[in-house]
Amino acid sequence: MKNTPASITSALGQDVLRPYLILDMEFTTGTVRLTNLAYDITVDSNVYLSDGGLTEFSPPQLTSVLDREVYRIKLVDHGNTYKNYFESGVLGTPVTVRLGIEGNLTDFDILYKGRIDATFIETESSEYTKHAIIECSSPFGALDRTTDRRTEKNTQRQINSSDSAFDRIYNSADEITLKWGKK
């Protein structure tokens, strides 16, 4: 169930409405915070930049089947800022998009929360534009993915250093001979 703040619900019923979006991308080198407002804003002591190149959000489309729901974000990238992020490996980076109403910096409605699934640079030479495109997917996007997990002591220690669940697993390709019964 979606819990939209009452202030946003009541604002949606008014004649004049000025909604805005804020975007959080939690890269390993630091969080990038952007807004589509014409000016920077501060929310919970975090500054959201208006000149960070944010040009387009493409929300997921509703379908009658359980699928990947792509959320597309388009950013201007003439200075290769986002290209450099992409080259450092950003797949799986958490992304959150929230809706706010101008004049209210405390109540937000989460429109999208997911992870970066694909990135690419789009250049249009005739229009002299360069965009960084980020495609995100919902948690349903990972349903058909598989992950390798080795069942050995060292792999388990990387996940949890005090876990000894795989300590007694035999880790060799040699044949084992076990003697059973009486001699």
Nearest to 79 by CA among 51, 99, 106: 51
3 pLDDT exceeds 80? no
Domains, the chain, ranges and CATH? 6-143 (2.40.10.10)
What is the C-alpha to C-alpha distance for residues 57 and 114, in angstroms, rounded to an integer?
14
User: pLDDT tens, 89-113?
Assistant: 888 889 999 988 888 888 898 888 8
CB 91 within 8 A of CB 117: yes
* pLDDT score at 143: 60
* pLDDT score at 95: 92
What is the C-alpha to C-alpha distance for residues 119 and 92, in angstroms, rounded to an integer?
11
Helix, strand, coil percent values for the chain (each to nearest 5): 15, 35, 50
Q: What is the DSSP letter of 14?
A: S
77 pLDDT exceeds 70? yes
Name the residue type at position 113: K
48 pLDDT exceeds 90? yes
Supply the mean pLDDT for the chain: 80
E strands, 36-174, where?
41-43, 46-48, 54-58, 71-76, 94-101, 109-124, 129-137
Can you give the length of the chain in residues? 183
CB 131 within 8 A of CB 74: yes
46 pLDDT exceeds 90? yes
Q: How far is CA 135 from CA 25, 53, 81, 100, 101, in A?
A: 12, 16, 17, 22, 25
